[in-house]
Amino acid sequence: MKLNIVEYPDKRLKEKSKIVEKFDKELHELLNAMYTAMMGSNGIGLAAIQVGHAKQALLLNIPNEDDEQSIDNLIEMINPIIIEKNGETIYQEGCLSVPSFYEDIDRYERVVVNYQDREGNTKTIEAEGLLSIAIQHEIDHLNGILFIDKLSYSRRKKFEKEYKKMQKEKKANHS
């Protein structure tokens, strides 16, 4: 299964993803292909809707202290729910679906999440730092929300302007 990253302004990114009920081979193949797509695009997080599948599934692979990503640190979350959240933090976020744009976004400092793994086993994780931010960013995707949707009106305008300019330059480059 070869997956392509869906990019803004594709309407699919606004869809609400559906609860996963079958923890079967089809789900496992999707998760495997998502991992390949994420690593191939230098991502640290990816939701299924970003490859066109409206399922409540996401991947997280936060780099270690040496800035290296290891498959040992891969987290696959199915049907995640934030059950506790507190504190505040700001981080300059990006997104594989909004390439080359980064902005400061407010998030909770700490979250506790219930989710299922690829076999359907129930798990709980407590996260702070970059993992906490990444979890919140990816769960937003499951609800059809992009980080740019959280910008103030003026910053959103700035984004639209920069993004349109970029798309024009892209077009000009391939002709």
Query: Does residue 93 have an active-site annotation?
Result: no
Binding of residue 133 to Co ion (CB under 5 A):
no
- The piece of 63-71, 79-87, 116-124, 127-135 that touches ligand QAP (CB under 6 A) is 127-135
Binding of residue 91 to ligand QAP (CB under 6 A):
yes
Among Co ion, ligand QAP, none, partner that 78 touches (CB below 5 to 8 angstroms by kind):
none
Binding of residue 96 to ligand QAP (CB under 6 A):
yes
Among Co ion, ligand QAP, none, partner that 80 touches (CB below 5 to 8 angstroms by kind):
none
Nearer to ligand QAP, 78 or 95 (CB): 95
What is the C-alpha end-to-end distance of the chain, expressed in Å?
Answer: 30
> 18 in helix, strand or coil?
strand
Among Co ion, ligand QAP, none, partner that 112 touches (CB below 5 to 8 angstroms by kind):
none
Question: For residue 77, what are the CA distances in angstroms to 1, 26, 155?
Answer: 20, 16, 31
Binding of residue 45 to ligand QAP (CB under 6 A):
yes
Buried b (16+ CB within 10 A) or exposed e, 137-173: bbbbbbebebbbebbeeeeeeebeeebeeeeeeeeee
- The piece of 54-62, 74-82, 92-100, 155-163 that touches Co ion (CB under 5 A) is 92-100
Question: For residue 62, what are the CA distances in angstroms to 39, 44, 48?
Answer: 11, 6, 17
